[in-house]
Amino acid sequence: MPAHFPNQHLTSTPGVDVPPELNTTPASRSPQKRYAEIVVDIPLQRVFHYGIPPHIRESLTVGMRVRIPFGNKIMAGFCVGFTDTPFTDKTKDILSIIDTSPLIDDVMLKITRWLSFHYYCGWGEAISAVVPSVVRSKKKERWNTFVRLKEHTVALNQEAIAQIKTRAPRQAKALEILLEHPDEISAKELIRICGCKMPGLRQLEEKGFITIENKPCDVTHTISNAGQLQQHLTLTMDQQQAFDIICNKFTAPKPGVLLLHGITGSGKTEIYLQTIKKTLEHNRKAIYLVPEISLTPQTIQRIKARFNRVAVLHSSLLGTVHQSQWNDIKEGKADIVIGARSSIFAPLKDIGLIIIDEEHENTYKQETNPRYNARDIAILRATYENAMVIMGTATPSLESYDQALSGNYEKIVLPRRIGERQLPPVDIVDMGEEVRKRRGYHIISQRLEYYMNQSLARKEQVILFLNRRGFAPYIHCKRCGFVLKCQRCDIPMTFHKKINTILCHYCHAEAHPPESCPDCLANNITYRGFGTERIEDEIRNKFPGYQIIRMDSDTMRVRDSHEKALTAFERGEFQILLGTQMIAKGLDFPNVTLVGVISADTILNLPDFRASERTFQLISQVAGRTGRGTKGGRVVVQSYNPRHYSITYAAAHDYDGFAKKELEYRKQLQYPPFGKLARIVFRSPHEEKAKEKSAIIGDKLKDFAKINGNRLEILGPSPAPVTKINNLFRWHILLKAQDHISIHNALQGIANALKPSKGVQTMVDVDPYMML
C-alpha cells in the first residue's frame, strides 16, 4: 500500500532549502527487515510497502532494485528503507532482487529524496535520473576485433608476400596493409580495405604471421595513467591571492561555497586545476562540471594533461562506454570526474571539491522530469559530503551574485586578464541606421565586414555568433501576409536550404517548401530573417578564399563532431568559425582576433524575465573568445536595439553596473533572486480541456493563498507564449512567493488536483528557466 511523503518543513542553507528529516538514514530503521519501502519510477510522491521473503532478507539492502508485483504488472523498484509496521495488513511480497550490490548510497538517497520533494516529482523518478539507464539496463559490453603483425613478422619482405600472393592474394594484401600500419588495426577496417574475410585472417594467425585480439569497444575510455604529466603553471598575483583564500578553506570545518568571479581570460581554469591538486593531496576527490558537451573535449585534454585516474560522463558517450565509466567510478578507480549536469550524480566517494564552470549557464537546468538544477544539487551534495564548491564565471547568475552580496557565498574576484592583456574593445552597430544608410537590408554590417577583411588578411581567425540555426526563420507571403506555421505547433517553420526542407524546431516535423502561398496561391513567397546556414552562404560569397566551419545542432550530430571541429579550427584548417551558443563560452584560441555578434536581439525579444540577463551574458561570453593571445582582439555587436542596457553594459565590460540595474527591476517585480517561482503547464489535444483544468487549479491555488494569508501570488491561468506544441495546446500558471516553503505548501495542498487526469497532462517546474 502506498504512503504519501511526510509533510516536510524546510530550513534554509546557502542557496538550497534542505528538509531536516533527510538527515536520517533510512537503512538504520527496522533491523529485522520484515517489510521493504519501495519507490517506483512513476510521477507520484509515494512509498510502497512490500513483504520481504525470508530467502532474500539477508541479501536485500537499501539502494538495490527489486522486482515487484505492481497492479497487474511486474515492475522494478528501488528499496529505500525498511519498516516493521506497514500501512496495511495486505502487503504483497517482493519477487526477486535485481542487483548484486546497491546502485546508490545513503548520501545519494538523501539527495534524491530532497530532489523529489523540491522539484515535485516521484522519488522513483529522482533515483532513475541519478542512475543512468545504461547502468539500470546492464547493457552487455561490446567488443571489437583488432589485428596486428607478430613481432617476428616485422621483417616480412616482399618476396615472402609474393609467395603468399600466388595462393591467397587477399591474405597477401592484408599483410601489406599491416606492414604499413605497425600498430593494430580493427579487423572490420582491414576486411573492408583488402577483402580478406575472417577465415583468411584466422589462417594467417595459424601460420604465425598475425595476432587477432578481442577488446572492449570502450578500451580508449578506460581510466589509466597517462605517463609523464605536465607541470602546473606559475600563478599570477591575482590568481595566487584567490588560491590562498581557497587553500584556507580546506582547513575550515565547513568549506562552503565560493563564487570565483573572473573576467574572461583571467585564468580561472588554472585555479581549478591547482585546487584539484590540493584536493587530491588531502586524499579527497573532485567533480568538474561543464555546461556544454562541446566544452568537454578541451576540459578533458587540460585535466588529463595534469592528472591520472580521470573519468568522463556525459550523454554523448556510447552506452557501453557510459556504463564502463560509471562502474569504474563506483569501484573507486577514478579521482576526478568531468562531465555535464548529470555528472553531479556520479557515484564518487570521498568528494572534497565540486567545480561548476560557467555557473550561470541555463544548461545546468534539466528541462525534462525531474527538472533539477545541477548547481543546487552540487551545493546540497557538498553539504552532505562536507566538500567545497567553486562556482566560476565571468558573468555570475543574479541568484549567485545576490548570495555573494548576502554573505552566503564567499566571492573571489579576478579583475585582470593573464599577462595584463586588455579586454577587447566592443563596437555596437545600429542595424536600423545601417538599413537607412545603405538603403537596404544587409546581414553583415559594413563595419564587421571591414574588420573581418583586416583580420583575415593578417592570417588571423574570426568567430561569428548567431543563436539561431537554419537558413530562414520564417516563410512569408508578400501579397496576403501569410506566415507558414507548423500544423502541430504554434510557431513558424524554419527553412533549411541545404536539405531543401522546412522544419519545426519544436516537434521536428518537416515538409517541402511551398512554391506558392498556401493561403492566397500567389507566387510571392519570400524567406525572411536569417539563421546560421544563411550566414554561412553570405560569408562564403563575401570571403571566397577562406575556409569556414559551422557549429550548430544541424552540423554537430555525429559523435565526437564537437571535438573534431574545434581541433581543426585550433590547427588553423579553418579561418572562420560560425556557430550558435555552443561556441560562446570556454573556448581558448589565441589566434582569434575578431568576434562578430550577428544579432544581439534574438534572446532580448523573448517574453522571459531573464532575457536581459541572458543577452548580457552571451555577449560578454562570446566577446571573451577574442583577444586571448598577444595579438589583441575586437568585438562587433550588431543590434536593432543598440541602446538597451544589457548591450551597452556588455560593451563596457561592466558586470556590476548591469547587475545593479537588473536587480532593481527584479526587486520591483519580486522575481528571482527576490522571490521564488514555480510554473504549472497544462497540455491537451483539446484546448478547452487544457483551459478548463488550468482554471480549476488556478481557483484552488487562489483559495489556498487566501486561507494561508496571501503569501502566494498566482499569475494566470493564461495561454503559454507558445500556445501549441506537437498537437498539444498549452496553458500555464505562474506561482510567485517570497520563499520555497509557500510554493511547496501550496503544491502539496492541491496535490490531489494535480494528479494526472484523462486528456490533460500536468507539468510542474520549480525554479523554471524556460518560460515559453
Please report which helix (H) or strand (E) contains residue 162, including its range: helix 158-167
Q: CA–CA separation, 115 vs 447, rounded Å? A: 50
Is 217 annotated among the ligand-binding residues?
no
Residue 544: asked if its preceding bond is cis (omega within 30°), the reply is no
Question: What are 416's three cell numbers?
Answer: 585582470
Q: CA–CA separation, 232 vs 115, rounded Å? A: 38
Sign of CA dihedral 103, 4, 697, 18: negative
Helix (H, G, I), strand (E, B) or coil at 732: strand
Is 517 annotated among the ligand-binding residues?
yes
Phi, psi of 438 (to 5 degrees): -95, 0
Radius of gyration of the chain (CA): 29
Q: CA–CA separation, 719 vs 337, rounded Å? A: 42
Q: CA–CA separation, 232 vs 278, rounded Å? A: 12
Q: CA–CA separation, 361 vs 367, rounded Å? A: 13
Query: What letter would DSSP give residue 419?
Result: G
Is 480 annotated among the ligand-binding residues?
yes
| Paired residues of 149 in beta bridges | 210
Please say whether the beta carbons of 581 and 437 come within 8 A: no
CA dihedral 649, 651, 656, 662 (to 10 degrees): 30
Is 520 annotated among the ligand-binding residues?
yes
Sign of CA dihedral 526, 530, 533, 539: positive
Strand 548-551 relative to strand 576-579, pairing? parallel
Region label for 625, one of left (φ > 0), alpha (ψ between -120 and 50) or beta (otherwise): alpha
Helix (H, G, I), strand (E, B) or coil at 360: coil
Q: CA–CA separation, 293 vs 583, rounded Å? A: 11
Query: What letter would DSSP give residue 420?
Result: G
Q: Which residues contact 482 (CB under 8 A, 6 or more apart)?
A: 476, 517, 518, 519, 520
Is 489 annotated among the ligand-binding residues?
yes
The sheet carrying 634-639 orders its strands as 426-430, 634-639, 592-597, 461-465, 576-579, 548-551
Q: Which residues contact 469 (CB under 8 A, 6 or more apart)?
A: 494, 505, 531, 532, 533, 552, 553, 554, 580
List of E strands, 415-534: 426-430, 461-465, 474-477, 494-496, 501-503, 510-511, 525-528
| Paired residues of 280 in beta bridges | none
Phi, psi of 374 (to 5 degrees): -60, -25
Nearest one of 252, 385, 249 to 260, comparing CA atoms:
249
Nearest one of 254, 270, 327, 362 to 611, comparing CA atoms:
362
Distances (CA, A) of 136 to 104, 139, 140, 319, 558: 12, 8, 11, 11, 25
Q: Which residues contact 575 (CB under 8 A, 6 or more apart)?
A: 456, 459, 461, 462, 546, 547, 548
Binding site residues, as ranges?
A: 477, 480, 486, 489, 504, 507, 517, 520
Binding site residues for Zn(2+), as ranges?
A: 477, 480, 486, 489, 504, 507, 517, 520
